[in-house]
Structure 1
C-alpha cells in the first residue's frame, strides 16, 4: 500500500507563488496587450478626466495609432478644447500613468 506523504512546508511551491498584480503584468507584457489596455483605459476615463459637461457633449471617442479622436457636438467647446490641447493631452496621460496618447484630434 502506498501512503501519501504528509504536507510539509518544505515541499510546498512557495517559490512559485507570485502576487496577482505581478502575474497580470507579466501576462500583459507577454501578449503585448498593455498598450491596448491603456487605450481602453483612456476611453473609459474620458468623463473622469474631462468632467461631466464635456462628456455630455462628446458624441464619439476612440484611439488609433496613439492618437485620441474625439467627436464633439458643440463647436464652441471644440474650439475651447483645441486651444487647451496640450493640457488635455497631459491630463489624459497623467490619468493612465504613461504616455499612451501622442496627439488629440477634435472632430
Structure 2
C-alpha cells in the first residue's frame, strides 16, 4: 500500500517519486525520445521515418530512404547532442540508422 505523506509536497516531487518507485523512467524515456526526434527532425525526415526505438541508451531509427540514411549518418553526434539537449539529460549515447 502506498505511504501517506502528511507534509505538503510539490506535485513535481510527488510525480518523480512515483516514477522512481514504480520504475517507469525507461518507458517515459522511450516516448520522450520519439517526440524529440519528431520535433527536431521536422516533416522532411519524419516522412521517411518508419520506426523509432530506444533500447539501452541506443536510438534505433528505421528510414525508408537510403539516401537520407547516408546523409544523417554523417551527423550522428549532432543528432545525439540535439536529442539529449531537448530532453535535458543524457538519454541517448548512440544512434543506429537502419
Q: TM-score range by the shorter chain?
A: 0.7 to 0.9
Unaligned runs of 5+ in 1: 1-14
Alignment of 1:16-35 (within 5 A): 16-35=7-26
Partner of 2:66: 75
TM superposition score normalised by structure 2: 0.87
How many residues matched? Answer: 93
TM-score, scaled to structure 1: 0.80
- Work out which of the two has the higher radius of gyration on C-alpha atoms and give 1 or 2: 1
Task: Point out 4+ residue stretches in structure 1 off by more than 3 angstroms.
Answer: none
For 1:101 and 1:50, the matched residues in 2 are separated by 16
Native 8 Å contact 1:39 1:100 kept in 2: no
